[in-house]
Amino acid sequence: MSASQDVRQVIVIGSGPAGLTAALYTARANLAPLVVEGVEAGGQLMLTTAVENFPGFRDGIMGPDLMAEMRAQAERFGTEILQGDVTAVDLRERPFRITVSGREYRTQALIVATGASARLLGLPSERALMGRGVSTCATCDGYFFRDQDIGVIGGGDSAMEEATFLTRFASKVHVIHRRGELRASKIMQEKALANPKIVWTWNSEIEEIKDPAKGQVSAVVVRDRETGRRTEIPLSGVFVAIGHQPNTSLFTGQIDLDAAGYIRTHDGSRTTVPGVFACGDVQDHVYRQAVTAAGSGCMAAIDAERYLEDLAHAAHAGAGGIAAKP
């Protein structure tokens, strides 16, 4: 008995809309979930401003406020929230083993909601200047570029949103995109294309960000993909918005991932390991919305609940079988 007491029924890794919805549902099912919130607690919405497309908020809601509400709602029904990052996961053993800040936790069911993080260009100069003029968060860092020329790398929705937002501060925003057209939705494109402070550099890749030796951004070197010509654009900040990558390094070799590293799910939120469920952006590179993440968190909770019921039945039947034996 004492051994089973420190085994949790459900641990949720991640505290974005998917993780907190999974926590809300499993808490209401009396499973006393533990959420390991991670260092990027609250997920990507913590870095956004107004969220205009989450149903139920007709005037919109600020991303961090929405996450604070979700968190409080999950806690109201008995969710326990643990700060810190999961550093190791062992799914070969049951109950599963989860390590957080050197401490081990065990759980019958695991819900993975680790989300996705901003993808980077992968240049050494980018790494050297991160936080020194290179950023992945316009709402955090735009303030420091008042009346300066800055660049946004990318052509999707998040690049358009960042570029548009940054025109509040910057004198000019250069959008540098590797293709000749935008991937962003029509509404975002139109807004950005109509903005007189945004200038466009098409079909161009970033080769280098200057100047790591000075510890600050002074320019980017771009190469035209058609002509091969190199140009230097003087900039004092670079915002990288080239998409996201799933946070799945903990699970490599333990759960089936697709070629891009996303967790493969089947029959709802099930992964290739029975008892492990995945929800939100860690398993979705198509929709990637707060509302779809929340919806899939609910699916994972219900799937986990059923799994635990089956497990309890099996244990009960197993115990009955042994008792009947002598």
Among 32, 82, 128, 130, binds another protein (CB under 8 A): 130
- Are 191 and 275 in contact by the 8 Å Cβ rule? The answer is no
Q: Is 137 noted as a catalytic residue in this protein?
A: yes
| 133 binds another protein per the rule CB under 8 A | yes
User: Which one is catalytic: 6, 65, 140, 256?
Assistant: 140
3-state secondary structure of 308: helix
326 binds another protein (CB under 8 A): no
Closest distance of CB 156 from another protein, Å: 21
Q: Let me know: does 152 contact 163? Beta carbons within 8 Å.
A: yes
Q: One of 85, 137, 149, 224 is an active-site residue; which one? A: 137
What region does 267 belong to: left with phi over 0, alpha with psi -120 to 50, or beta? Answer: left
Using the rule CB under 8 A, give the single segment among 136-144, 203-211, 222-230, 241-249 that binds another protein: 136-144
Burial of 36 (0-12, 13-18, 19+ CB in 10 A): buried
Tell me which DSSP letter residue 262 carries. P
Tokens of 269: 């939120």
Q: Which is nearer to another protein, 125 or 135 (CB)?
A: 135
Mark whether 140 is an active-site residue: yes
**Which of the residues 140 through 179 are near another protein (CB under 8 A)?**
140-141, 143-145
**Stretch touching another protein by CB under 8 A, among 27-35, 126-134, 245-253, 269-277:** 126-134
How many CA atoms lie less than 13 Å away from 175 in the CB half-sphere?
A: 32
How big is the site for another protein, counted in residues (CB under 8 A)? Answer: 29
Told to check if 118 binds another protein by CB under 8 A, we report: no
Residue 74 in contact with residue 24, Cβ under 8 Å? yes
- Contact between residue 184 and residue 157 where contact means Cβ atoms under 8 Å apart: yes
Cα separation, 157 vs 46, in Å, equals 17
Q: Which is nearer to another protein, 42 or 95 (CB)?
A: 42
Site for another protein in 18-77 (CB under 8 A): 39-42, 46-47, 63-64
Binding status of residue 215 toward another protein by CB under 8 A: yes
Segment near another protein (CB under 8 A), from 158-166, 213-221, 224-232, 308-316? 213-221
Burial of 323 (0-12, 13-18, 19+ CB in 10 A): exposed
Shortest separation between residue 135's beta carbon and another protein, angstroms = 5
- Determine the Cα–Cα distance for residues 91 and 89; give it in Å rounded to an integer: 6
Residue (83 or 185) nearer to another protein, CB: 83
Q: Which of residues 80-99 bind another protein (CB under 8 A)?
A: 83-85
Chosen residue from 16, 95, 154, 237 binding another protein by CB under 8 A: 237
Maximal CA-CA distance, the chain: 85
* C-beta pairs of 92-95 under 8 Å, 24+ apart in sequence: 92/254, 94/275, 95/7, 95/8
Stretch that binds another protein, among 132-140, 203-211, 250-258, 271-279 (CB under 8 A): 132-140
Q: Which is nearer to another protein, 149 or 205 (CB)?
A: 149
Question: Which residues are near another protein by CB under 8 A?
Answer: 39-42, 46-47, 63-64, 83-85, 101-102, 130-133, 135, 137, 139-141, 143-145, 215-217, 237
So which residues are the catalytic ones?
137, 140-141
